[in-house]
Structures are given as C-alpha cells and as structure tokens.
Amino acid sequence: MSLLLNTSVARIERSAQGVDAVTLLQDGTSRSVQVRGGVVLASGGLNRHAALCQTMLPGANADWCPAAPGHTGEAHGLARSLGAHYGTGGDSHAFWAPVSIRTRADGSRAVFPHFVMDRAKPGMVTVNQAGQRFVNESTAYHLFALAMQQQNHAGQGGPAVPAYLICDAEALRKYGIGMVRPGATAGAKSLQPFLADGYLTQADTLEQLAQKLGIDAAGLQASVARFNGFAATGIDTDFQRGVTAYQQNIGDATWTGKSPNLGALTQAPFYAVRLYPGDIGASTGLATDADARVLDGQQQAIEGLYAVGNDMHSIMGGVYTAPGITIGPGVVFGYLAARHAVARARV
Ligand SMILES: Cc1cc2nc3c(=O)[nH]c(=O)nc-3n(C[C@H](O)[C@H](O)[C@H](O)COP(=O)(O)OP(=O)(O)OC[C@H]3O[C@@H](n4cnc5c(N)ncnc54)[C@H](O)[C@@H]3O)c2cc1C
C-alpha cells in the first residue's frame, strides 16, 4: 500500500459502473489511479471554501477559525460535478466556538477556542460592547458563539463581535483566561507579554477596564453588580447560568459558593480578552446514505464515491449535543465506507 503525502485530488472519473479513477497532483506531477473499491472523501468540509463561506456562513472570518489549514472544500466541486449535493435541514451550516486571537512571535496567528476552561467559571462574565451580558456563559460553546452572532445582528443592545470575557484577579489566578494559564497574579512576569501585545487588558477598576476596551463603562459596572448579586443567591435570573449538569460540569466543583458557575467579580485588578465567533468545522456536508455513499439529486448512491468526517452532512442536524459529535461519526462512517468499498472491490 502507498500513502501519498502533499497530494491533491484534481479529478474523479466515473463510468457506468461508478467511480473508477482519480487524477492526483503531487509536486506538479499528475498521476492517474484506477479505483476498484471506491474513493472516500475526507477533505475536511466546506467551511473554509471562500465562495461557499460567503453564502452559507455569513459573518464567518477565516482569521477566527481554529482548525488546521488545508481544508479548502475544493474536492466538493469534484463531487458536485458528479451530481452530489449538500444535505439540508441543519440548524447551522457549521459548529462554532468563541475564540480569542493572538499573534505569535514568528508572526503566525494563534486562535484559542474557549471551550470549557474559563468562561463558565466563577468570577467571569461576558459582555457585549454596551457592557451588557447577552448569553448564558456556561452554555455549550456552539450556542455561545451563535448567540454572539445573533446579538450582533439583532441590532438590540450592543454589538457582540467582539464580545469581552471579563474576570477579576482571583478568577485569573485560579482558572487563567484564554491563552493565559492559571497561576498568574498582577505584576507577574508571565502576564507581561499578553498585556504588551494587547491580547489581555488589565485595569484597576471596571470603569477603567471599560474605557481601555472602548465599551460602555456604566453598562459594565451595572452588569457586574447585577451578576455579583446572582453569585450571592446562586441563581442567575437573567440567563439561568449553571442550571444543567453540562453547565455545572464546566464550572468549578471545588467552588464553595452557591453555584459552581457563579462567583462575584470583586478583586482588582480586572482583566478582559476579546472574543470572536469562530467556525470549528462544517456541519452541512455532502448528503450520504447509511454506508456513507454520496447521494445524487435523486437520492441515488453515486457508486464508488463516499464522504466521511466533515465532508459528510452531519448526523447531528447542526446541533451541538455533546463533545465528540464530529470525530465519533467520522470514525464510524469511515469504517462503514471502507467496509462497503472493500465489498464492492470483491464483486
Ligand atoms: C480546536 C478544535 C477542537 C476540536 N475538538 C473536537 C473534539 O473534542 N471532539 C470532536 O469530535 N471534534 C472536535 N473537533 C472537530 C474535529 O477536529 C473535526 O471534525 C475533524 O478533525 C475533521 O476531520 P476530517 O478528517 O473530516 O478533516 P480534517 O482533519 O480537516 O482533514 C482533512 C484533510 O484533507 C486534506 N485535503 C483537503 N482538500 C484536499 C484535496 N483536494 N486533496 C487532498 N487532500 C485534501 C487537508 O489538507 C486535510 O489534511 C475540533 C475541532 C477544532 C478546530
């Protein structure tokens, strides 16, 4: 068996029996490979395909995508020229997460997904540019980022792209924030690079923090005061933060307050990181059957063509149910596709 690296698929050919050859490009050299079992597309989905992104993911920005580069969606054009089509009915064409962004010393961009480590912990709130909370910070990251986009488009309250994840000194020390690891205190050498390049903003008061961020100071002070009241009662009557097992699980089980997700922001200095809604992977993909065979417009299988991973229309319907919703189905349908293709080769 040969594994070809740095190789792209330039053409998929089909005869009456189904897909029977692919043309590969490697270092400028073209080679044709005969197909007996099938071609399995696993090219990473459509969410970084420039044209599709504009129509299907308005508001997405390639700079905010934390996924590895390389998934251009180009192979979908080849599949679609054979009659493949995208699945429909999903709640969203992608899965999302709030991300923060920093430029590394070598000039490359680091995109940090705020999955579970900070935003739902005690002593942390997220506000829009009016300084107002707009989301349950302990909800799933997919819903969090969708809420940022909805808030941004709604025209009510302040824009939420970027939004601001804000914490006090105690929360920073205990949990860290984004790329800033736990353990840092004001004046710590480890904080200096983050402050110097603007990734992290620090101020002695909430009013000064708001001024540095360019957001509404009175709004932020009022939001934090109200949130601190929820921390005292253990009940967030505005957004119901921390009411499900999932939400509590990403809180702090060792916290001695009334809710593992609610703690007041009281200890100066205060800190903030800017959040953006990043697309972490496509949810909409090529429609397939239960063997991962790609379907044409008449819902008939295109013999010998399979799609798995983010290339395959997600069985989750664009809804985030739990961690593993992409790699889990990717592994299962990869197995099913391979099994079907091997059986096809034996006929
Ligand atoms: C930060 C982050 C965290 C995540 N955490 C989780 C998690 O905890 N659990 C989970 O289930 N999922 C998670 N995901 C999602 C998961 O990583 C993806 O769903 C998964 O990696 C997709 O795998 P894939 O094989 O479909 O695509 P990819 O891993 O993107 O691989 C596609 C490959 O195809 C290549 N390619 C593209 N076009 C061509 C072409 N024309 N010819 C040849 N090759 C081509 C690309 O270069 C790339 O190597 C996470 C995603 C991100 C970004």
Mean pLDDT of successive 10-residue stretches along the chain, which has 347 residues: 90 95 94 96 96 92 94 94 96 96 93 98 97 97 96 80 98 98 92 96 98 98 98 98 97 97 98 98 97 97 98 94 93 98 92
Residue at 234: amino acid letter: G
The minimum-distance atom of ligand 1 relative to the CA of 312 is 26
291 alpha carbon – ligand 1 mean position (Å): 20
- Ligand 1: does its nearest atom lie under 6 Å from the Cβ of 228? no
Whole-number Å distance between alpha carbons of 333 and 186: 49
The minimum-distance atom of ligand 1 relative to the CA of 95 is 15
The yes or no reply on domain 7-93+283-346 and CATH 3.50.50.60 is yes
310 alpha carbon – ligand 1 mean position (Å): 7
The minimum-distance atom of ligand 1 relative to the CA of 324 is 11
- Ligand 1: does its nearest atom lie under 6 Å from the Cβ of 42? yes
- Ligand 1: does its nearest atom lie under 6 Å from the Cβ of 213? no
Give the architecture-level CATH label for domain 95-278: Alpha-Beta Complex (3.90)
Which residue's CA is minimally distant from atom 45 of ligand 1? 43
Whole-number Å distance between alpha carbons of 180 and 124: 14
Whole-number Å distance between alpha carbons of 344 and 151: 50
Torsion angle in degrees (nearest 10) through CA of 207, 120, 135, 63: 90
Q: Which residue has the tokens 């010998």?
A: 304
- Ligand 1: does its nearest atom lie under 6 Å from the Cβ of 67? yes
Whole-number Å distance between alpha carbons of 285 and 275: 27
CB 282 within 8 A of CB 47: yes
How does strand 301-307 pair with strand 39-41? parallel
Which residue's CA is minimally distant from atom 26 of ligand 1? 309
Tokens of 121: 């912990």
pLDDT at 155: 66
Whole-number Å distance between alpha carbons of 44 and 25: 18
Whole-number Å distance between alpha carbons of 260 and 237: 16
The minimum-distance atom of ligand 1 relative to the CA of 74 is 41
Q: Residues spanned by CATH 3.50.50.60 within the chain?
A: 7-93+283-346
The minimum-distance atom of ligand 1 relative to the CA of 308 is 26
Got the DSSP string for 306-340? EE-GGGBPPTTTT---STTTTHHHHHHHHHHHHHH
pLDDT at 307: 98
pLDDT at 254: 97
44 alpha carbon – ligand 1 mean position (Å): 5
Rg from Cα positions in the chain: 24
65 alpha carbon – ligand 1 mean position (Å): 12
Q: Residues spanned by CATH 3.90.700.10 within the chain?
A: 95-278
Pocket test for ligand 1, best of 326, 331, 333, 335 (most atoms within 8 A of CB): 326
249 alpha carbon – ligand 1 mean position (Å): 26
pLDDT at 286: 98
From the list 260, 250, 276, 268, the residue with the least C-alpha distance to 167 is: 268
- 3-class DSSP assignment, residue 275: strand
- 3-class DSSP assignment, residue 233: helix
